[in-house]
Amino acid sequence: MPELPEVETTVRGIEPWLKGSRVTRVVVREPRLRWPVPATVQAATGQTVKRVRRRAKYILVDFENGSLLIHLGMSGSLRVLTEQANLRKHDHFDIEMEQCMIRYNDPRRFGTLLWLEPPAEAHPLLSALGPEPLSNDFHGEYLYASSRSRKVAVKNFIMDGKVVVGVGNIYVSEALFMAGIHPARAAGRVSRARYRGLAEAIRDVLGRAIREGGTTLRDFSGSGGEPGYFAQNLLVYGRAGQPCFQCSNPVRQKVIGQRSSFYCITCQH
DNA sequence: AAATTCTCCTGAAGGC
DNA sequence: TGCCTTCAGGAGAATT
């Protein structure tokens, strides 16, 4: 499940192949994704890529008069192909360039391909998003201020894209453990000092994952291309029943906000 | 407004 | 071994 670090790694991987190059063709062979891929994506044909960037977990391919928006959903991935390659099951679309092609594969079809008229930031999917977790706008004070009177579990609060973007189920579990905060605690009942620690933990865990993804990222072309986001050793996520690295008590697993949460009842309060 | 539930889909894992 | 069931999960939409 691609989280922010993998999306970032993907962006860095494909940008050198796309930037300054022209789209020669967009082939949509299986339009059934999160939303049906609209015919308007053909607007990219013939245009030159100005840049490739990430906002939350969205990939934006910017052109002079619009942007392609790509989301990897749960199971999406992009590959750069420089020569003919057989189609695989769940290959949804290709963006053909002068020197290569970007091929999107997504078994579970939770991903997205849309065409956005400028300014892209005004699009409903992007306009209400919170700050980037690695930006200067994101810090403990911000979390503290925006969580007052909020009763939702702090875990759900952090996963809310209007609060901060791109912190998914895996990394929120990791960051809460690092900060010693119980995931089910009401967001409004977390102290300023602990929010400082949490913001720091989020920044740390995402930053590390991106750096590790960057090291496993080589040329991003060919068959492999899978960003190595799981290279990171996880402290609690997926470790139910195994000893906590800090106190050796078994890690608990419980569903909070419809999603599995992993935490240590001794170390997190 | 805020919180909760529903929804999309398929591969993997578990049960017998 | 193999078939059937269950479940996970990003995030917008719908509902309470």
pLDDT of A25 over the 70 cut: yes
Q: How far is the CA of A96 from the C1' of C10 (A)?
A: 27
Res A228: pLDDT: 44
Res A257: pLDDT: 82
Residue range A138-155, pLDDT digits in tens:
999 999 999 999 999 999
pLDDT of A218 over the 50 cut: no
Do A58 and A11 contact (CB within 8 A), yes or no?
no
Q: How far is the CA of A209 from the C1' of B5 (A)?
A: 32
Range of weakest confidence among A22-36, A93-107, A204-218, A219-233: A219-233
Q: Is A96 marked active-site?
A: no
CATH code reported for the domain at A140-263:
1.10.8.50
Short-list A82, A57, A52, A77, CA closest to A67 = A52
Q: Is A124 marked active-site?
A: no
Residue range A151-172, pLDDT digits in tens:
999 999 999 999 999 999 999 9
Q: How confident is the model at residue A232 (pLDDT cuts 50, 70, 90)?
A: low
Q: Which nucleotides of C are covered by protein (CB under 7 A)?
A: 8-13
Q: Which nucleotides of B are covered by protein (CB under 7 A)?
A: 2-11
Q: Of the listed A54, A57, A79, A194, which one is catalytic?
A: A57
Whether CB of A122 is under 7 Å from strand C: the answer is: no
Whether CB of A148 is under 7 Å from strand B: the answer is: no
Phi and psi, residue A39, nearest 5°: -65, -20
Res A226: pLDDT: 47
Res A221: pLDDT: 46
Average pLDDT, chain A: 92
- Mean pLDDT across A11-28: 97
CB A254: neighbour CB atoms within 10 A?
12
Residue range A38-72, pLDDT digits in tens:
999 999 999 999 999 999 999 999 999 999 999 99
Res A193: pLDDT: 98
pLDDT of A216 over the 80 cut: no
Measured distance CA(A62)–CA(A40) in Å, rounded:
15
Q: Is A25 marked active-site?
A: no
Q: How far is the CA of A69 from the C1' of B9 (A)?
A: 21
Residues 46-75 of A with CB under 7 A from strand C: 56-57, 71, 73-75
**Cα diameter, chain A:** 59
**Domains of chain A by residue range:** 4-127, 140-263
Whether CB of A169 is under 7 Å from strand C: the answer is: yes
Res A223: pLDDT: 36
Q: How far is the CA of A259 from the C1' of C9 (A)?
A: 8
Residue range A86-139, pLDDT digits in tens:
999 999 999 999 999 999 999 999 999 999 999 999 999 999 999 999 999 999
Q: Is A57 marked active-site?
A: yes
> Which CATH fold would you assign to the domain A4-127?
N-terminal domain of MutM-like DNA repair proteins (3.20.190)
What's this model's pTM, rounded to 2 decimal places? 0.93
**A34: which nucleotide lies closest, measuring CA to C1'?**
B8
Q: Note the helical H segments in chain A.
A: 4-18, 124-127, 140-147, 154-159, 169-179, 192-216
Rg (CA), chain A: 20
